[in-house]
Amino acid sequence: MKTMKLSSFPLRVQTEVFSSMELIDILFLSFCSKQFKQTIESTMKSRFDKIISITYTSSRPEYATISSSNSDDKEFMKLVPREEGRNRSIVQMNLYGVDVDCCMATRNHPFFILCNQQDGEQMLQTIHNYFRGFFGSSIEYHLKADGRNYVPRLKKIKYSDIFIQNEGAAAELLDEYLDVSPSQEYIQLYAFGGFEYERNLKLAQTNVLDISIPDSRARELVNNFKGKQLFISDGIVTDDDVIEFLNSWKSSQTQQNLEFLSIHHWRGMNLNPEKIMRNIDLKQFDPKQKMPIYRYDKRSIFGQYFWKIQEFSSPKFIVRDADQHVASLEITTRGIQFASWKMTEEEVMRGRIQKTFQKTPFQEASPPRNFIDISKFSWLIQKEILSSMELVDLLMMASCSQKFYQNMKSLMRNRFDKIFTITYESRVPSRINISSSSSGDNPFMSIREIYEFRGRPLIPINFTGMDLQVSMPTRNHPLMILSDLEIQETLLPSIHNYFLDLFGSSIKYQLNVYELMPPFSKLKNITSTHLSSYLLADFDDFLKISPNQDFIQLFEIQSPLLGRNVEFARTKVLDIAKANRFAEEILSNFEGRQLFINDGIISDAVIIQFLNKWRLNEGYQNSECFSIGVSSFTHPLSPNQIMSSLPINRLDSSDQLPVYQFDKRDRNSKHTWGIHKFSSPNYIVRETDQHVASIMVTEDNITFAAWNMTEKEFLEKNTFKRSY
């Protein structure tokens, strides 16, 4: 096979080649030689500068995922136990100066590095140190550690989500981790009581600290805290602790940098607000005037990347003696909220100032003084400019004019071809997130109602031929489009049709929603549908405009008509949680490749009919595998009757049985695919081509797996003996 020496090409050509590659492939090339690594670092600096963060997620030493923000935190590399490499092609490579066993990436799985428990942490440290040298110091490194007694000791981590279950090991784990990654920008810590986190001075150096340790004492942490924001959930303070803190701030003794403090105990800590307020010099804003509103970004304790703008307003405040700066205050029996304005009372009330503290402040857009007419540049320069832009910016620019729209389609065809999927996700029609495979799973665009735009400037724009109001994207939020009742049912279909035309027909469009109602039921050419609730009446109409889908996952089927629907029967992969008595209709009419029913009702006769039709080549030629579960108490199968009705072949029980593997999407996670395995000594043979299918029948399940090989090949490949 002929090879191409990439380093012999001009730098401009090399850059173009690198720009078309996935991040994992660029990393592989960087291992070739020191000189080639330096070439990549210099030519790809612009691309690397767009990688805001690298995130490590780990629960134990031999298991970790690695993702990047330029793919919206979709994992591109994974450390896994060696047993996960079974039945996959293993490649030996020298990565990061270490000889390792790997499994190359597939469409459903990232690149695997196989490791053992004893060397997992060291491997992750080696990868992290390589990234720090390769990508440069501008990238933020994030860690999510959710193991019982493990926190990987990675240097210079800037953002951490840590969940520790082991009370006895918590103090040592946290201390060792903060030794190598002190003074972080953000730490979210959830743990159980039993260690004195309050006295950990390294933890107190965090800029934004969000901590939840049930019934822990918060006094010392508050006193030692040197950062800007402190959130304590389920921590306990006394009246005297609160009085001491407020008077200390007021007299400028401590907490000069503190901007926001929240201590809250869900079951209450029996604070006495009246007593506390009697012991501090409390003032109130004029109730006749509009209250000032303090806004800040708050990260969800239950979501790694979910941020939401929170608001705090109170008529009560205290004044610091030295500079007359104001802090708003709210005290209840359950806790305290404190917000320092860093301005005087007069400044706060002048024009009803609304202070916003955010992880990434909004940038005020000022009118540009100098315009650049991109269309006047050569196509090569236009392509270079557009290639450096985010997807959402390209969409905005494409709406400028019809001519620029056509140019965009032509110039960016290569980039658009790398977008495998566009996903529409929603629990309610008023909140719709849109994401793409090229940018991972976080949305690049979102449709929201007006109440979610509090504190965010709205800009009028004509997009997809509609006059809309939008809030431009920030680091924590996608492009947000304002929706109201008048345009709710037409907005998403308009955006979807715009994508169909701009991106072309090669992209697969996915729908992941709670219920199939407008506007979702109006989307055409959807290739994958995941519904979390019951089907509504218009599902048949939806299949007419979105036929021949690759994948449909449903919660429950309540109508026999769906099983007879031709478009439904042609779905390549059907995954149904509850099919009830309609499982027979579905199996009988199914023309796809894979069928999974968790809970159904099906007769022995229908199963026998299916297996005989496949065996005699009278139907189901496309079937690869199916699994149907039933209740062994109310509607059990009769394994003996089914097996005795067919010419069953059986493998020698002393042999190791063949293992049939297939990918199946996790019902509870739209992005997680798992490798499922099936083994059985029983098989049947199709008469026309001698192809083999393994079967297993129990009282509560029937599983069928076609091997796509003849009986001779099947036996030779696995060196089995037939025992019939």
Dihedral sign from CA coordinates of 109, 111, 116, 119: negative
- For residue 488, name the pLDDT band (cuts at 50, 70, 90): confident
CB 450 within 8 A of CB 537: no
| Res 356 pLDDT > 80 | no
Give the span between the Cα atoms of 7 and 12, in whole angstroms: 11
Assess whether the previous peptide bond of 647 is cis (omega < 30° from 0).
no
Give the span between the Cα atoms of 47 and 423, in whole angstroms: 25
Of residues 485 and 125, more confidence is placed in: 125
Give the span between the Cα atoms of 205 and 125, in whole angstroms: 23
E strands, 421-549, are: 421-428, 431-436, 445-448, 459-463, 466-471, 479-482, 508-513, 526-531
Average pLDDT rounded to a whole number, residues 134-157: 87
User: CA dist 166 to 143, 149, 171, 392, Å?
Assistant: 19, 5, 10, 43
* pLDDT at residue 181, as a whole number: 93
User: CA dist 495 to 81, 84, 405, 422, Å?
Assistant: 43, 41, 14, 11
E strands, 358-514, are: 421-428, 431-436, 445-448, 459-463, 466-471, 479-482, 508-513
How do residues 557-598 score in pLDDT, each as one tens digit?
877 778 888 999 999 999 999 998 889 999 999 999 999 999
Of 140-149, 150-159, 351-360, highest mean pLDDT: 150-159
**CA angle in degrees (0–180, nearest 5) for 649-650-654:** 160
Taking the complete model, does pTM exceed 0.85, yes or no? no
Average pLDDT rounded to a whole number, residues 543-562: 88
Of residues 432 and 360, more confidence is placed in: 432
How do residues 228-281 score in pLDDT, each as one tens digit?
999 998 888 999 999 999 999 999 887 888 999 999 887 777 899 999 999 998
Domain ranges of the chain: 1-48, 50-163, 207-361, 376-547
CB 599 within 8 A of CB 574: no
3-state secondary structure of 607: helix
* pLDDT at residue 722, as a whole number: 40
* pLDDT at residue 199, as a whole number: 65
- Determine the distance from the C-alpha atom of residue 172 to the mean position of all C-alpha atoms in its chain, rounded to a whole number: 30
φ, ψ for residue 631, nearest 5 deg? -85, 120
Of 86-90, 337-341, 349-353, 376-380, highest mean pLDDT: 337-341
CB 468 within 8 A of CB 475: no
* pLDDT at residue 244, as a whole number: 93
Return the structure tokens found at 200: 């950990």
Give the span between the Cα atoms of 315 and 333, in whole angstroms: 18
Cβ-based neighbours of 504, under 8 Å, separated by 6 or more = 413, 416, 417
